[in-house]
Structure 1
Amino acid sequence: MTTTDTPRVTLTVEQGIARVTLSNPARRNAITRSMWLDLTRIADELKAREDLRVVLIRGEGDVAFASGADISEFGESRRDPAQADQHTHIIQTALDGIESIRTPVVALVHGFCIGAGTAIALACDLRYLDTNARFGVPAARLGIGYSPYWIKRLVEVVGRAVTAEILMTGQFFDADKALRCGFANETLPPESLDAFVETQLQTMAGNAPLTLTAAKISLREIAAFESERDWSAPFAAVEACARSQDYLGALAAFADKQKPVFNGY
């Protein structure tokens, strides 16, 4: 993994697995405005790819997934309500982009996962943390109001009571708390996490893409505000599975006691 002093988000894709890396090592991978824009661009690119099976998002190194937003930019990006609204829109666009990727998105979390890092991890479908990880939202320490969209997502994952604790105390919580409240799907020792997540990526990459897409679309609509839900998309995705060559091929493979091979159509 190449280290650079310039904050950026990098992307590599190999054999259907996209690997997205948050890189700002001088500030524990704090997310800058340019990195939010990178995330939006990368999400748009990934949504357009037909060969994609699964996406991994991680921080560079093993100190932090992302330690929050880069506060050094706040004097320029959040000087007044209009600028704050514009900055919030940039962030929300990036998070919406991650959530709308049609394949599973996995967060691999080493170390700090704070503020903006927590928001990015929540936009992923699955979160795997090392046992040294710390997560939290210190907005109350900075006088920042969090978007109802972000809070809703947090409630869906950890529940209302834990969300209230996270937002009202501004404290950081450990990996054990992350696992107990549902923020983490699994926690492992730092030296074991990467290999475990790689196995999960390979497992998902070998599953039926149309089935995973249908599941994601359903989960997205269930999570949407009731007034914004569109049930036609999930039902169309389920029907696409039933009509697919992948489904017919899987039936034949199981009848022959063979492992099915999925092509995404």
Structure 2
Amino acid sequence: MDDKKPFADGAIIALTADTGIGRLTIARPEKRNALTDAMWRALPAAIAWLVKTRAMRVIVIEGAGGRDFSAGADIGEFETLRKDAGTARAYETANSAAFAAIRTCPVPVIAAIRGICFGGGFGLAAAADLRLADTSARFAIPAARLGLAYPPDAVQDLVRALGDQQARRALYTAGELSAAEALACGCLLSVSDADRLDAEVDALAARMAAAAPLSVRASKAAISAGPAPQSRDRADRLAAATFDSEDYAEGRRAFMEKRAPAFSGR
């Protein structure tokens, strides 16, 4: 099942594995993995390919080059693609679609963060379910330094990730947070030494991929359910469906037989 598919002329790379762990790499290391408009637009399709076409059970998002997660949007495009309110709305529609693709992805998304995680890059990480970093990670939202504002949906992701007070500080001052500060406010699940991050991420992703997929999807839907009745109804339907699944029967058998279950996602 191992397969690789490039998007946005290879600046976004989706990779599958027999383990059920998909990887999405922001592959522009010469620009600190800054995202072009084409890359923003490609992200939803890349995620859909991993989940719907290749049935990955977990997705790991990372930056190429082993140095930075992402510097955010490529400011070099702003003079044409984000020069005023009209063009900014069109540009940010693609941004919001990328954030939403991560936020609403039916399977867990893990952000593996090294180095710079700024602006829209931080927005991608904030939309993920879990964030793990190494000690080099640095976080910032430079909107107040550039004189622009971020889409409200991205701001809400940042509030959920950082907490109200740290999100306000980050947005109002454009100041940086260290990995230790991000860990302290609950933005990060863990901080590792540089040579341990991949192992930490792989171990966590493997545990998720080995769990019952329908159960994990139902849990994610329940965690994400908002006040709208349709989102709660969807979470209820996914939870109820687990009890009629083959995986539930397999889980019961495995427990009685004192063995590890082999879940199929059916």
User: Which range, TM-score by smaller chain?
Assistant: over 0.9
One of 118, 142, 146 as aligned partner of 2:122: 118
What TM-score does the superposition give when structure 1 sets the normalisation length? Answer: 0.93
- The 3 A distance-change label for structure 1 pair 7 and 246 is closer
What TM-score does the superposition give when structure 2 sets the normalisation length? Answer: 0.93
Contact 2:16/2:50 (8 A) holds in 1: no
Does residue 1:127 correspond to 2:127, yes or no? no
User: Match for residue 17 of structure 1?
Assistant: 21
Determine helix, strand or coil for the equivalent of 1:187: strand
User: Match for residue 180 of structure 1?
Assistant: 184
Deviations 1:173-195 (A, max 9, x none): 10000101111110000111011
User: Structure 2, unaligned stretches of length 5 or more?
Assistant: none
Q: Which amino acid aligns with 1:263?
A: S
Q: CA RMSD in A?
A: 1.6
Between the aligned partners of 1:86 and 1:53, the Cα distance in structure 2 is 32
Contact 2:99/2:154 (8 A) holds in 1: no
Contact 1:98/1:123 (8 A) holds in 2: yes
In the alignment of these two chains, the number of paired residues is: 258
Alignment of 1:153-232 (within 5 A): 153-222=157-226, 226-227=227-228, 230-232=231-233
Does residue 1:37 correspond to 2:37, yes or no? no
Determine helix, strand or coil for the equivalent of 1:64: coil
One of 138, 142, 151 as aligned partner of 1:138: 142
Q: Which amino acid aligns with 2:101?
A: G
Deviates more, 1:145-154 or 1:17-26: 145-154
The alignment-based identity, stated in percent, is 33
Contact 2:41/2:98 (8 A) holds in 1: yes
User: Match for residue 88 of structure 2?
Assistant: 84
Between the aligned partners of 1:229 and 1:154, the Cα distance in structure 2 is 24
Q: Which amino acid aligns with 2:145?
A: R
User: Match for residue 263 of structure 1?
Assistant: 264
User: Structure 1, unaligned stretches of length 5 or more?
Assistant: none
Determine helix, strand or coil for the equivalent of 1:20: strand
Q: Which amino acid aligns with 2:231?
A: D
